[in-house]
Amino acid sequence: MLKIGLGAPQYGLFADPAALSACAVAAEGIGYDSLWVGDRALVPRSPRDAYPGGGPVPEGYRRFLDPVATLAVLAHATDRVRLGTSTLNGPFYSPVLLARSLASLDILSGGRLDVGLGLGWSSDEYQAVGVPWAGRGARLEEILDVLEQAWSDGPFRHEGTRWTVGDSFMDAVPVQRPRPPLLLGGFSPATFERIARRADGWVGVGLPVPMLTQVVAGIRQGAEAQGRDPERLRIVVRVNPEVGPDPAPDERVPGRGTVRQVAGYLLAAHRAGADEVLVDLQQTARSTAELIDLAHRFHEELRKG
């Protein structure tokens, strides 16, 4: 069955504790399967890199809540929904501290964490957090190594290019064993190879359906070539639509359109291989009440099939 996720309030006017709690409780009551947060360090006034999808960074993204803190609130406010990151910019973080934070979230949520990691798109953010832009893929590989070692049973150690960890204990390991599901975001051949080799799935975005079909098939074929079961990989497709009452031209969907149009795209993405679809309404809703109403309508459309 198709799983349905919702972007958790985190940006713009939704970077508010009352909105966060109200929407989390409502989403669980509606029947959503998951809630997801994103990751921003800052928004440069004159970015060196183009915003994905074109245009300027949405003004609402200038105000944002920390993803780990937000997930901790979600863990307290909910009982059933899974809690995911779409995505954390992995290279921003020390892997030992990241292992500690993510394990804590999995414990606090009772084993409901999905770890989505990506490389990000902004070299300005990398500069601001003091991390080299070059070599970020190799940096993520070593972060994954440290996470796996830190979450193992008993003491662990790591000797790598960037980090050295002597024999150490970190006994507060995730509830989910051997680790929470690890999903990677991105579109490069190196990302798809990394997913096929060592991840549990892909966090993608609303590509044209023929392209999406091709990408999903390629990821699964890559996993099979690595001797892994391709059907065990989880595919999550995310959209951040501008929703309105009037139909948009087909070429603008799913970035813009009616609830029915965007839901229709997400159902087509499911047929193309997505196990879960994720709709983030923070760029279109103008109040908490409107976000919850739209969430209801999307869930109804998607469940109708």
Profile the chain (305 residues) by mean pLDDT over runs of 10 residues: 97 96 97 98 94 86 97 98 98 98 98 98 97 98 98 96 97 97 96 97 97 97 97 97 97 97 98 98 97 98 94
Q: In the prediction, which pLDDT does 236 show?
A: 98
Identify the bridge partners of residue 23 per DSSP, sorted by sequence position. none
The reported pLDDT for the residue numbered 305 is 86
At residue 279, the pLDDT reads 98
- The pLDDT of residue 55: 82
Res 54: pLDDT: 79
Residue with tokens 């103008």: 286
Residue 59 makes CB contacts below 8 A (sequence gap 6+) with 12
Contact 156, 170 (CB under 8 A): yes
d(CA 127, CA 9): 27
